[in-house]
Amino acid sequence: MSIKSIAAKIFAKKIYEKTQKWANNPVATQQKVFKQLLRKAKNTRFGIDHDFDKIKTYADFAAHVPIRDYEAVKPYVEQVVKGSENILWPGKPLYFAKTSGTTSGAKYIPLTKESMPFHIQAARN
């Protein structure tokens, strides 16, 4: 077995163990992430418009943040594309990922410095 194979197996085992840690506690993990996201985004335009500072539970979130498609969120995205800060997430994104959806043409998804490691991690894992 090559050194690469051994290293890959060790790396895969560590990723598996890390994933199992949060996967074995899905409700607690989701609640923790939910609270972190609300806290981080509460002072953004979207967070202020949807009273993130008052949201404590999923039921609160469902009451304050309506389900909508990209077209309904597009005014926020357009503000970000024009260079406005703190609209959907604190600060300004580094890049925009352009998707080519089938429903309404091209869509722009902001990618922040903070979100990039998660995109990379998801692709790697």
pLDDT at residue 71 is higher than 70: yes
Residues β-bridged to residue 110: 96
Q: What is the DSSP letter of 18?
A: H
Contacts of 22 (CB under 8 A, 6+ apart): 29
Average pLDDT taken over every residue of the chain: 88
- Note the pLDDT of residue 22: 77
Which pLDDT score is estimated for 102? Answer: 64
pLDDT digits (tens, 9 = 90+) for 51-65: 999 999 999 999 999
* This prediction's pTM: 0.75
SS3 label, residue 67: coil
Classify residue 87 by burial, with Cβ atoms within 10 Å: 0-12, 13-18, 19+: buried
